[in-house]
Amino acid sequence: MPNKNAFDNSTFDGFSQSCLKFFHDLNRHNDRNWFANNRDRYIRFVSEPMKQLVGAISPMILAFDPLVVTVPNRVVSRIYRDTRFSADKSPYRPRVWFAFKRNVDCWTSTPTYFFQLEESEYMFGMGMYSAPAATMRKFRENIDNNPEKFHNIIKPIQRKRNLNLESDSYKRRIPTDHPPIIDKWYQSKSIAVLEHRKPDKILFSTELVDFLVERFVLLKPLYDFLWDAVVL
């Protein structure tokens, strides 16, 4: 019996305008009756293409890190929102994402590759959603121990015009004599390297797979450097 979670790399043909139209309509009609009548659209234009994209990228991710979870049903976000503790009671998320993470208790504290799509943009990158203070202390120690290594890791990232470090800095600056290219990383509370793009021809073609793989390969040395700092 074939594995229902296995995907042939060739099956991902890109997302479609119908996917964006689904999110547009969901933003206007975020209720259970509407979704019940449009569930087939969600599966056909959002859920299945996203799982196929995960299947196409998974071999590269596993070559990077064999401990990463790649089962599509565990990697792709659910559309249902947990509204119990939220002021926003809309039942569905008007976006979809995948997150390649290790099977740890608190994955938001560890380096993760991700991709997210909504009506107006798609974004992707790598980072830690909420790095603990202990991890960031170790991260800075590792920079102090080998600043040249870290500089060589981030230099290729700096050259990518649309790939940027997005992180809050500490209110009180941490003393250091590192050059500016390193200092902005050193002062960060967490690490997230992101690229934001408007829907374009890449999104709507098989080219998206190679495009994401190229970016993820570029971020691999930083991914390893962050894992060396993780304190769970």
Residue 2 main-chain phi, psi, to 5 deg: -65, 150
Q: Residue 133's domain spans which residues?
A: 9-226
The answer to which of 52-56, 59-63, 102-106, 207-211 has the lowest mean pLDDT is 102-106
Is pLDDT at 198 greater than 90 in this prediction? yes
DSSP readout, 81-105?
---TT-S---SB-SEEEEEE-BS-T
Q: What's the confidence (pLDDT) of residue 182?
A: 97
Q: What's the confidence (pLDDT) of residue 231?
A: 87
pLDDT tens readout for residues 46-80: 999 999 999 999 999 999 999 999 999 999 999 99
100, part of any domain: yes
* Cα–Cα distance, 37 to 21 (Å, whole number): 15
2, part of any domain: no
pLDDT tens readout for residues 161-186: 899 999 999 999 999 999 999 999 99
Strand order in the sheet with 164-165: 95-100, 112-118, 122-127, 192-197, 164-165
201, part of any domain: yes
Is pLDDT at 5 greater than 50 in this prediction? no
Q: Over range 102-124, report the average pLDDT.
A: 94
Looking up residue 219, the CATH number of its domain turns out to be 3.30.930.20
pLDDT tens readout for residues 132-155: 999 999 999 999 999 999 999 999
Is pLDDT at 117 greater than 80 in this prediction? yes
Could you give the number of structural domains in the chain?
1
64, part of any domain: yes
pLDDT tens readout for residues 15-55: 999 999 999 999 999 999 999 999 999 999 999 999 999 99
Percent over 90 (pLDDT), the chain: 87
pLDDT-derived band of residue 10, with 50, 70 and 90 as boundaries? low
**Can you read off the two tokens belonging to residue 220?**
């691999």
Is pLDDT at 115 greater than 70 in this prediction? yes
4, part of any domain: no
- Looking at mean pLDDT, say which of 35-39, 105-109, 129-133 comes out highest: 35-39
Residue located via tokens 């993760």? 112
Q: Over range 84-101, report the average pLDDT.
A: 89
Query: For residue 61, what is the DSSP state?
Result: H
